[in-house]
Structure formats: structure tokens, C-alpha cells
Amino acid sequence: MTRIQAAKGHGTKNDFVLVFDPHGDIEIDESLVRKLTDRRAGIGGDGLIRLIRTDALGDEATLQGDATWFMDYRNADGSIAQMCGNGVRVVAAFYEHLGLGDVAREPLAVGTRAGVKTVTKDSQSSWYSVDMGPASLTYGDAARSRGADSEVVADGLGMAPRAALSVDMGNPHTVVALATPHELVGLDLGSQPAVTPVPKDGSNVEFAAILDPPRAGVGHASMRVFERGVGETQSCGTGACAVAVALHEWGGPSSPRTWRIDVPGGSVEVDLSNPATVVLSGPARIVADLDIDLTQLG
């Protein structure tokens, strides 16, 4: 195969190359992902998403319940990730763009390596909401009483390690609370923050600061993220969920269960009001259809 049909999309500027491969005909390997996500010689993206039918999957098909479609997610460095919160909303927008259905009328169940996630759409705002399933503390309840389980050193935050909480959203996150939004500005994410203990499969690292006191029960925070397998990105949906979970842990039971999280690429909302699940809402856009000549890449 020398040409593939693809698209470009983003959710709060977390951008993806979207490959429609219903029957699993395209061999997606690390080298192809790197070439397609290259911002100069390729299309450019923080990651690549292949939309493939679950009945075309090999072993992974058994995990996908009733979902017809699977989000095969790859980071820009070619590594495989379990889940992407912005990506799964963009998958729903891609599904609509391809004329496969209308998510505002019928929710879409998307298979992922972290289980099936159901996406709905508010037809007025055009925002998509994803039922992300439960969050958990990576190191268990012992971390809950201490409020931290790790330390992070990052450029621009001084030499002293910052306390952090590790949150599992299907993929790994390490959340650092900053004292003021000003600290977010001084943070330099040009190089990877050092996390101790070193997470065995790596981690996405979020830095969060509360912006305003809660209004009508809604908290408001800002975050920046260094994504595993990418570097600094403009947004991370699972990261925003991890930040809301950590802020609620730190704030105690009376702290907000709904959070507006500002990211460099926009804003998303995270709802923790159902203790059994986390709901992420935000925009998703498809901005281009692509006919890619694979022989010209790299």
C-alpha cells in the first residue's frame, strides 16, 4: 500500500493524525508513526490514531465488549499508549466526519486498551463527553493519607523536589500542585521532568495551579503537561482528569467535584460527581482530509 486516506484533528490543540483502517490493512509500526507525526517532513501530530473495527483486531478484540470501533493510539515517538482522553473525543468527531453516525443522537462506544469508553455529544455546544471509567491512585490508599507518593524535579521550579501524586487513568500520570499560576509560567518543559521513584512504564507529568476559588461548586485550575512519548503538548485529556482527581484528593471531601481545567490549547471540564467514574468533556475538531503518499515520507 503506497497511499493512505487519513485526516488531521485535534482536541484543545492536542493534535492527531487520524488513519481510517476499518479492516486492519495498514501496517502501523513505530517508523511510520514517527514519519507521519513529524511536524516538518510529515503531517505533524502529538500522536497517531488508527480507527479500526474491533472484529479486525487480533488478541485485543477480546477486551472490547460491544464496541464496534477501536482507537489504536500511538504517541509521536511510536510508543503505544493505553488511552487518550482528547483522542477518544476526536475519534467520535472523526466517526461523524466519515458519515458513520451522529454521536448527538446515538452515543458511541469506543474500544481502547484501557477498556470501552462511551462518548456522547451535546448538540448545542458541540462538546463531546467521555465516560472515562474510574480513576485510581497508582500506589494505593497509603498515598491518600500522605497526599503524595513521588517527587518531581523540573526545570524552572528550582532545585527542591516537588511532592506529587500518581493517578492511573488507564494510562499513568504524576500530578504536581504548584503554589501559584505564576509558577506555571516559569516552568520549562523543554526537557523531561524527573520523577522519583521512576514509574516502571514511564508517566505523563502534569503541573497544576488553582486559578480561582470555586464558583457554584466548580473549581478552576490551570495545567501544563509533559506527555510520555511526546514532550510538552498543548493539552492532555487523561492528564486533566488526573489533575481534577488529585486536586479533589488534596482538597478533601468538601472540595469541588467538577473542575474546569485550562490548558495551553483551551479548556476542558472534568466531573467527579459520580464516585464510580470520571467524565471528561471538551471540544474535538477535524480540520483536514488527507491523501498521503507513503513513498514520500521521511
Ligand X SMILES: N[C@@H](CCC[C@H](N)C(=O)O)C(=O)O
| Residue stretches of the annotated binding site | 14, 75, 85-86, 171, 204, 227-228, 237-238
**Rounded least distance, CB 236 to ligand X, Å:** 4
Using an 8 Å Cβ cutoff, are 242 and 173 in contact?
A: yes
Stretch that binds ligand X, among 22-30, 216-224, 226-234, 253-261 (CB under 6 A): 226-234
Report which secondary-structure segment, H or E, holds 146: helix 141-146
Name the grid cell of 152: 518531581
Q: Is 244 exposed, middle or buried (0-12, 13-18, 19+ CB in 10 A)?
A: buried
Stretch that binds ligand X, among 147-155, 187-195, 224-232, 260-268 (CB under 6 A): 224-232
User: Does residue 86 interact with ligand X by CB under 6 A?
Assistant: yes
User: Does residue 238 interact with ligand X by CB under 6 A?
Assistant: yes
Report the helix count and the strand count for the chain, using DSSP H and E.
5, 19
Q: Provide DSSP, 94-112.
A: HHHHTTS--TTTS-EEEEE
Name the grid cell of 44: 505533524
**Rounded least distance, CB 47 to ligand X, Å:** 6
241 is catalytic: no
| Binding residue count for ligand X, defined by CB under 6 A | 18
Backbone angles phi, psi at 14, to 5 degrees: -85, 105
Going by DSSP bridges, is the β-strand pair 204-215/150-153 parallel, antiparallel, or unpaired?
Answer: unpaired
Name the catalytic one among 221, 236, 242, 263: 236
Stretch that binds ligand X, among 50-58, 139-147, 174-182, 222-230 (CB under 6 A): 222-230
Name the catalytic one among 84, 176, 187, 245: 84
Q: Which residues bind ligand X (CB under 6 A)?
A: 14, 47, 75, 81, 84-87, 171, 204, 227-230, 236-239
Q: Mind telling me the catalytic residues?
A: 84, 236
